[in-house]
Amino acid sequence: MKLTIIGTGYVGLVTGACFAEVGHSVICVDNDLKKVELLRGGGIPIYEPGLEDLVKRNVASGSLSFTGSTAEGVEKSDVVFIAVPTPPQPDGSVDLSYIERVARDIAGAMTSYKIVVDKSTVPVKTGEKVAETIKRYCKAKVDFDVVSNPEFLREGFAVEDLMKPDRIVVGVGSQRPAAAMRELYAPFNAPIIVTDINSAELIKHAANSFLALKISYINAISIICEASGANVEEVANGMGMDARIGRRFLNAGLGFGGSCFPKDLSAFIKIADTLGYDFQLLKEVQHINADQMERFVKKLTDTLWVLKDKKIGVLGLAFKQNTDDVRMSPAIDLCQRLLKEGAAIRVFDPQAMTKAKGVLPPGPTTTYVAEMNEVATGCDALVVATEWPEFKLLDLDRARHAMTHPILFDGRNLFDPAEMEKRGWVYKSVGR
């Protein structure tokens, strides 16, 4: 099939590359012409495992191309995906101006029947607004269908999630576009749920909010574990073996961050509010998440007493492993808190250093180091802030001798407490 993806962020670029990989002809559109030229030349503006090879291979084969013209994309495609940002507004609601702008652009370019697919995460009833906008601004007065097709991609695992999805959700206003959507997704061999548009839009927000709830729940349990002398890892393992619960997203730590969970949680609370329901449960999820960082910082101050003029090494800047995304990253939040308290920091991340410099500029109090084993040099304490697997390979003996005192605050529970004590470390983790 001939597809156009409008927007080349995490969702749009991964979606376009994966569709091209399974045999569709894909045009990716972006209004950032520098990004378009970068992609045409084989460059990738984001780090996502497997994505670079996927893009280069399909550009070379001719099945994937890039343009700055929405009109070109609409003209040459049967199905047009909207994958533009939906950033949060100060009150927690979603800024839909990008969606509206693209809907108008699509309408202005349409000269024949199109299926317009909303891939961006949007509030319920957005599909109705997109359809209304296209109808209003389509000069050719041609027929079209609007479909909601929410993404369920985890940054760091997005290619894997799209190529081997748990399920595919398709929300339609009529059955007319359903067959085309089934054909589009047939190569992925996954269950396809066809529902109404409003339900499809709610599924995305409901799913992300539930996963955020799961993380906050285990973080709340970690507090009880610390107070009682229990081990949150063992509790999570015991819970997770229950098939009704599952082990995933039951990892205690600094709390959730990134561009999805915090935004989607706030948006869902706001959506519920506009529909007349006070979603107090999700408000408590937000409170627990914020409180988790406060508790972790208190561990540092309880141990180090005064943070001013202390040198602290921080391992991790991305909001999670396998990505360079630092948007709403707990690791960045922690660094900013340490700097505010007067500490100096030495930081390292396998992929997020460049983007982190946009929010934590290098200077007298912020030093970026080239290798993880250099972070500990001259530090009063070391912090693990992101769950990169390679951090488990830290040379603990080298780090211990390089520090003024061997203190490690493990915000991701990567190390074994008994082993750390045996090696001579003062070791503080979460819920253990």
Q: Over 90: is that where the pLDDT of 51 sits? A: yes
Tokens of 23: 């045999």
Would you give the distance in Å from CA 33 to the centre of its chain?
24
Q: Over 90: is that where the pLDDT of 191 sits? A: yes
Query: Distance between CA 12 and CA 326 in Å, rounded?
Result: 19
Structural domains in the chain, CATH included, are: 2-190 (3.40.50.720), 205-285 (1.10.1040.10)
Would you give the distance in Å from CA 114 to the centre of its chain?
30
Percentage with pLDDT > 90 across the chain: 97
Who's near 65: CB < 8 A, 6+ residues apart? 26, 27, 28, 40, 59
Q: What is the pLDDT of residues 196-214, one digit of tens each?
A: 999 999 999 999 999 999 9
Query: Distance between CA 95 and CA 118 in Å, rounded?
Result: 15
What local confidence, expressed as pLDDT, does residue 42 receive?
84
What local confidence, expressed as pLDDT, does residue 423 receive?
94
Tokens of 308: 């001013």
What local confidence, expressed as pLDDT, does residue 41 receive?
87
Q: What is the pLDDT of residues 57-74, one digit of tens each?
A: 999 999 999 999 999 999
Residue 29 to residues 34, 106, 149, 242, 307: CA-CA distances in angstroms?
Answer: 12, 12, 18, 44, 48
Q: What is the pLDDT of residues 143-161, one digit of tens each?
A: 999 999 999 999 999 999 9
Residues 23-39 have a mean pLDDT of 96
Q: What is the pLDDT of residues 298-330, one digit of tens each?
A: 999 999 999 999 999 999 999 999 999 999 999
- At what angle are helices 330-340 and 280-304 packed, to 10 degrees? 50
Q: Which string of DSSP letters, residue by residue, matches 40-84?
A: HTT--SS--TTHHHHHHHHHHHTSEEEES-HHHHHHT-SEEEE--
Burial of 31 from C-beta contacts in 10 A (0-12 / 13-18 / 19+)? middle
What local confidence, expressed as pLDDT, does residue 2 receive?
97
Nearest Cα residue to 257 out of 219, 230, 300, 223: 219
Residues 119-136 have a mean pLDDT of 95
Asked if residues 205 and 267 have their Cβ atoms less than 8 Å apart, the reply is yes
- Adjacency order of strands within the sheet including 426-428: 366-368, 344-348, 311-315, 381-384, 407-410, 426-428
Query: Distance between CA 102 and CA 286 in Å, rounded?
Result: 32
Q: Is 347 helix (H, G, I), strand (E, B) or coil?
A: strand
Q: What is the pLDDT of residues 359-378, one digit of tens each?
A: 999 999 999 999 999 999 99
Of 18, 138, 260, 379, which one is the catalytic site residue? 260
| Mean pLDDT score across all residues of the chain | 96
Q: Is 225 a catalytic residue?
A: no
pLDDT category, 259, cuts 50, 70, 90? confident
Nearest Cα residue to 338 out of 422, 409, 419: 409
What local confidence, expressed as pLDDT, does residue 272 receive?
96
Q: Over 90: is that where the pLDDT of 271 sits? A: yes
What does the CA dihedral 288, 292, 293, 297 come to, rounded to 10 degrees? 140
Who's near 376: CB < 8 A, 6+ residues apart? 313, 346, 382, 398, 399, 400, 402, 403
What local confidence, expressed as pLDDT, does residue 399 receive?
97
DSSP strand pairing (64-67 vs 311-315)? unpaired
